[in-house]
Structure 1
Amino acid sequence: MTTAVRSTPVPARLGVALVAAALVNLLIGVVASALDDGGIAIGLQPAVFLPATVLGVALGTAGWFAVRRIAPRALPVVVPVVLALTWIPDLLLLGQGATVVNVVGLMAMHLVIAVSVVLALRPTLR
């Protein structure tokens, strides 16, 4: 990792991560909405997923620092487990009229948030 990345303040890295996650989630929302045929299209509107993206980055950041403080070596296990847990409500939407495209879109959005937080905060482990 370069010195420039390590010396970049955490809030700046998180800001970049938030903007990147929001833009990628916007793209996912547009594509999933276009491919969603006849479903209820839950969570694919920017008014829904953009605030959720901000909340996800904030909660992911809080969780990262909490786990890092208590058990930093657990992060490689905790992050994928928490991500998988966020997919459970998405999968439950299948029984409420959401299409597979809708659910996969939401799951991809959760993955984008997780990846953006990990990439932004990974330098804090050193």
Structure 2
Amino acid sequence: MTTAVRTTPIPARLGVALVAAAVVNLLVALVASTLDAGGIGMGLQPSVFLPATVVGVLLGTAGWFAVRRIAPRALPVVVPVVLALTWIPDLLLLGQGATLANVVGLMLMHAVIATAVVVALRPTMR
């Protein structure tokens, strides 16, 4: 006799991932803002990073399914490469008055979103 394995539907997984990413990004922003003495605080306001978190989860999901459809074995390479590419604009902010705390905070926010998407969608690889 076999037992059926119940899995959580993808929209529910993505909803949890989105809420988790938003909460963790809020904490990252609070810490980065505290350490951002005299900086420009770029992207550390909830009105900026919360919509960006939603967009990041949506784009990450679309990218995941596109790569999974075309070259599923490439995901372990594509995900970190895309994450690293998202850090380039963050690093460029150093030349525009952002502090290291600001930039590292933004980079961590991108990593949080990528992690949330990967954790939510990893079961789709089976």
TM-score, scaled relative to structure 1: 0.96
Letter in 2 for 1:34: T
Give the CA deviation at 1:36.
Answer: 0.5
Structure 2 letter corresponding to 1:67: V
Q: Aligned partners of 1:32 and 1:92: how far apart in 2?
A: 17
Q: Which residue of 1 aligns with 2:62?
A: 62
CA distance in 1 between partners of 2:67 and 2:110 (Å): 19
Deviations 1:9-54 (A, max 9, x none): 0000000000000000000001100111101010000000000000
Runs of 4 or more consecutive aligned structure 1 residues displaced over 2 Å after TM superposition = none
Equivalences, count: 122
Residue in structure 1 matched with residue 19 of structure 2 by the alignment: 19
Larger Rg: 2
Unaligned runs of 5+ in 1: none
TM-score for both structures, normalised by structure 2 = 0.96
Rounded to whole Å, the distance in 1 between the matches of 2:92 and 2:66 is 28
Q: Which residue of 2 aligns with 1:116?
A: 116
Provide the rounded CA distance (Å) in 1 between the counterparts of 2:35 and 2:71.
42
RMSD (Å), alpha carbons:
0.6
Q: Deviations over 1:95-119 (max 9, x none)?
A: 0000000000000000000000000
What are the ranges of 5 or more consecutive residues in structure 2 without an aligned counterpart?
A: none
